Amino acid sequence: MADSTAASPHPVVPVHEDRPVYVIGGGPGGLAAACALRARGVRAVVLERSDRVGASWRHHYDRLRLHTTRRLSALPGLPIPRSFGRWVSRDNVVRYLEKYAEHHQLEIVTGVEVSRVEPAPDGTGWLLHATGGRRLTGSAVVVATGYNHTPRVPDWPGLDAYTGELLHAGEYRNAGPYAGRDVLVVGVGNTGAEIAVDLLEGGAARVRLSVRTPPHIVRRSTAGWAAQYTGVLVRRLPVRLVDRLAGPTARLSVPDLSAQGLPRPGTGLYSRVNEGAIPVQDVGLIDAVRKGRVEIVAAVDGFEDDKVALADGSRIEPEAVIAATGYARGLEALVGHLDVLDAHGRPVVHGARTPHSAPGLYFTGFTNPISGMLRELALDAQKIAKAVARRVEADRAAP
């Protein structure tokens, strides 16, 4: 989609005649929010920095599939086709997002990156500074720039002098370039675990997985019951209760891999979720580690003489290092001056709530809930739209 406005099937009533609600980001969260707003008669304009919707999904590794079910991953107003299967592939997620934007005739402007959001000079609404010198004024703003926004590589000692091959997991596509090679994957979240398995199945000669904190590992599905279903059921329960319930379940469903260097975590599953560590859903890692085909090694401490220095004092020389070390939200330049971020750079509120210091500024997609991110994006979209619609009615009623 290019810089154009599509006809809307809904009556559009902006808070101000010339001030739409701007949605920053054309990924699942931004598209869902725009759809929900338009369904309530509020004009929503999506600003997407790339040339197409779903940009981040287009750059994920090839074998990626949703770890959440098709039924519980759909956005408001359009089911994901059954033909896409229960665990939807990356390419089909992209197809779905394209179809979603088309089906709902969303108003999307591509090639526009917003660099800063600040209160409008007249004290009502928001002023957005964007590429090309654009200055856009909106009645409200929904920030949906994505959880995986800016690749993060730790500032390891000696990294600057390392001449070996090192890339962030965001640059990894498939195992082809690593066939027959010795590869170290750093980080055992879902991305690191899946890349390790992909390398193994793709013919890498040796695959090692560097682990600092052993993760909770769960089966993606057991006898047809998806792990996501459990996540939905327990999300509102007390943390300690869920921790107690998860322990015996894990011991029954996941073998003890302590002998292979991957002991069971000492912290409860839901406690870890609240710290930001989502359980690793098994897509072959358990079997690969149990059979010694993926070797678990200590955390990376740094780089010395073109070797990787591990926390246990050992030194290894992989031919390539893939850092599955996560992402930063990248919100500081955009909204950091508004006192709306916590010490970790995450929004202090999300969904229908707006910060006290920034009414009319909404955030979606910056949490990683146990019940599934896409499901929560869909729910947040409806809540945000309802909150904005209330403001529309309040403005109408004001003298």
pLDDT digits over 89-99, tens only?
999 999 999 99
pLDDT at 4: 38
- Residue 269, token pair as written in the block: 């599953």
Q: How far apart are CA 298 and CA 210, in angstroms?
A: 5
Please report, rounded to a whole number, the percentage of residues in the chain having pLDDT higher than 90.
83
Confidence at residue 11, expressed as pLDDT on a 0 to 100 scale: 37
> Full-prediction pTM beyond 0.75?
yes
Q: Take residue 81 and report the two structure tokens written for it.
A: 């086709």
| Structure token digits, residue 323 | 């850092």
Could you tell me which of 372, 388, 387 has the C-alpha nearest to residue 75?
372
Residues counted in the chain: 399
CA distance 348 to 293: 42
- What lies within 8 Å, CB to CB, of 50 at 6+ separation is 26, 110, 111
Residue 200 pLDDT greater than 90, yes or no: yes
- Average pLDDT estimate for 139-161: 94
Predicted local confidence at residue 391, as pLDDT? 82
Q: Quickly state the pLDDT bin for 2 (edges 50, 70, 90).
A: very low
DSSP 3-state of 338: helix
Instruction: Provide the pLDDT confidence category of residue 6 given band limits of 50, 70 and 90.
Output: very low
What is the structure's pLDDT at 284? 95
Compute how many other C-beta atoms are within 10 angstroms of the C-beta atom of residue 69. 22
The average pLDDT across 378-387 equals 96
Q: Sign of the CA dihedral 179, 148, 63, 53?
A: negative
Q: Please name the amino acid found at residue 72.
A: L
Asked if 218 and 282 touch (Cβ cutoff 8 Å), the reply is yes
**Residue 90, number of CB atoms within 10 A of its CB:** 18
The per-residue pLDDT for range 28-39, each reduced to its tens digit, is 999 999 999 999
Q: Are 200 and 47 in contact (CB under 8 A)?
A: no
Band of pLDDT at residue 261, cut at 50, 70 and 90: very high
In sequence order, what DSSP letters do the residues of 201-251 get, joined into one string? HTT-SEEEEE-SSPPPEEESEETTEEHHHHHHHHTTS-HHHHHHHHHHHHH
How far is Cα 182 from Cα 180, in angstroms, rounded to an integer?
7
* Run of H or E including 393: helix 373-397
Q: Which two tokens stand for residue 286?
A: 């358990």
The tokens describing 94, both together, are 């992209």
Q: What percent of the chain has pLDDT over 70?
A: 94
Q: Residue 323 and residue 191: Cα distance in Å, rounded? A: 10
pLDDT at 186: 98
Higher pLDDT: 15 or 108? It is 108
264 pLDDT more than 80: yes
Other Cβ atoms closer than 10 A to 84:
19
Task: Name the 3-class secondary structure at 263.
Answer: coil
- Mean per-residue pLDDT of the chain: 92
Q: How far apart are CA 30 and CA 44, in angstroms?
A: 10
Give per-residue pLDDT as tens, 206-223.
999 999 999 999 999 988
CA–CA dist 113, 138 (Å, integer) = 15
Q: Is the pLDDT of residue 3 over 50?
A: no
Lookup: tokens for 198: 């992909």
CA dist 44 and 21 (Å) reads 5
φ, ψ of residue 31 to 5 degrees: the values are: -65, -40
The answer to whether residue 395 scores a pLDDT higher than 90 is no
Using an 8 Å Cβ cutoff, are 59 and 99 in contact? no
pLDDT of the residue at 397 = 65
All structural domains of the chain, each given as residue ranges with its CATH number in brackets, are 21-149+329-397 (3.50.50.60), 152-323 (3.50.50.60)
- 222 - beta bridge partners? 225
Query: Across residues 247-261, what is the average pLDDT?
Result: 92
Do residues 355 and 349 lie in contact, with contact meaning Cβ atoms separated by under 8 Å? yes
d(CA 34, CA 113): 17
Gyration radius of the chain over CA positions: 22
Q: What is the pLDDT of residues 284-329, one digit of tens each?
A: 999 999 999 999 999 999 999 999 999 999 999 999 999 999 998 9
Give how far Cα 354 sits from Cα of 55, 65, 96, 310, 351, Å.
26, 33, 29, 43, 8
Residue 291 three-state SS: coil
Residue 304 φ/ψ, nearest 5 degrees: -140, 125
